[in-house]
Amino acid sequence: MGNTELAPTEVKNPVRRRRKRLNSDGKWGLLMVAPYLVHFIVFVLGSLIASLYFSFSEYDILNPPKWTGLDNYTKLFNEPIFWKALGNTLYFAVLFVPLQTILALILASALNQKLRGLKLFRLAHFLPVISSWTVILYVSDAFFNTRFGLANDFLTRMGLDPQTWLQDPQLVIPLLVLIAVWKGIGYIMVIFLAGLQNVPSDVYEAAEIDGAGTFRKFLNITVPLISGTTFLVVVLSTISTFQAFEQIYVMTGGAQDATAAGGPNNSSLVLMIYLYREGFSFMRMGYASAIAWVLFVLLFILTIVQVTLQKKWVHYE
Amino acid sequence: MKHLAFKRGALILAVLLFSSILLSACSSSDKEKEVTPSGEAVQEQVELRLGYYSSAQTDAKMQELVKKFQDSHPNIKVKTESSPYGQFFQKLDTQIAAGNAPDVWLSDGVLVPKYAERGALKDLTDLIGKDLKHDEYYGLDFNKDTNGKYWGVPQGIQIGVLYYNKDMFDAAKVAYPTTDWTWDDLKAAAEKLTLDSNGKYATDAAFDGKKVKEYGLTFFSITEGWMPVLKSFGGGVLDPTLQKSIINSPENKKALDWIVDGMNRHLFPTPADLKSFQSNMAPFPSKAAAMRIGIYARTMDANNAGLNYDVTLLPKGPDGKRFSPVIANSWVINKKAENQVGDAAWEWVKFWATTDEAQKEWASLGEAVPVKKSVANSEQFLNGKPANKQAFLDSFEFAGTLDVNAVWSEWVGKFNESINRAFQGEIPADQALSTADKDVQQVLNEFYKK
- For the stretch B6-20, pLDDT in tens is 445 554 555 544 554
Please give, rounded to a whole number of angstroms, the shortest distance from the CA of A300 to a CA of chain B: 6
Among candidates B5, B15, B17 on the partner chain, residue whose Cβ is nearest the Cβ of A295 = B5
Cβ–Cβ < 8 Å for B326, B159: yes
Chain A closest-CA separation from residue B313 CA (Å): 27
Residue B234's pLDDT is 97
- The minimum CA-CA distance between A242 and chain B, rounded to whole Å, is 7
> Residues A203-252: pLDDT tens digits?
888 988 988 888 888 888 889 999 999 999 999 999 989 888 989 988 88
Of the candidates A177, A135, A142, A165, the residue with the CA atom closest to the CA atom of residue A270: A177
pLDDT along chain B (450 residues), means of 10: 46 50 43 44 80 90 95 95 91 90 96 94 95 91 92 96 98 96 97 94 92 94 95 96 96 97 96 87 96 96 96 97 96 94 96 92 90 93 94 96 94 92 93 96 90
Nearest-angstrom CA–CA distance, B199 and B217: 17
* d(C-alpha A166, C-alpha A249), whole Å: 12
Model confidence over A141-186: pLDDT tens digits? 899 988 888 999 999 899 888 888 888 889 999 999 999 999 999 9
Give A106→chain B minimum CA distance, Å: 27
Identify the pLDDT of residue A1: 41
- Residue ranges of A 250-289 with Cβ closer than 8 A to chain B: 253, 256-260, 264-266, 272, 275-277, 279-283, 285, 288-289
B239 φ/ψ angles, rounded to the nearest 5 degrees: -80, 175
Enumerate the residues of chain B whose CB falls inside 8 A of the CB of residue A242: 5
ipTM over 0.85: no
Residues of A (47-106) whose Cβ lies below 8 Å from B: 47-48, 50-51, 54, 60-63
Chains A and B: how many Cβ contacts under 8 Å?
135
Q: Find, among B77, B70, B74, the residue nearest to B32 by Cα.
A: B77
Q: What residues in A contact B1, CB-CB < 8 Å?
A: 239, 303
pLDDT of A312: 85
Asked if B354 and B372 touch (Cβ cutoff 8 Å), the reply is yes
Q: Torsion-angle region of residue A297: left (phi > 0), alpha (psi -120 to 50) or beta? A: alpha
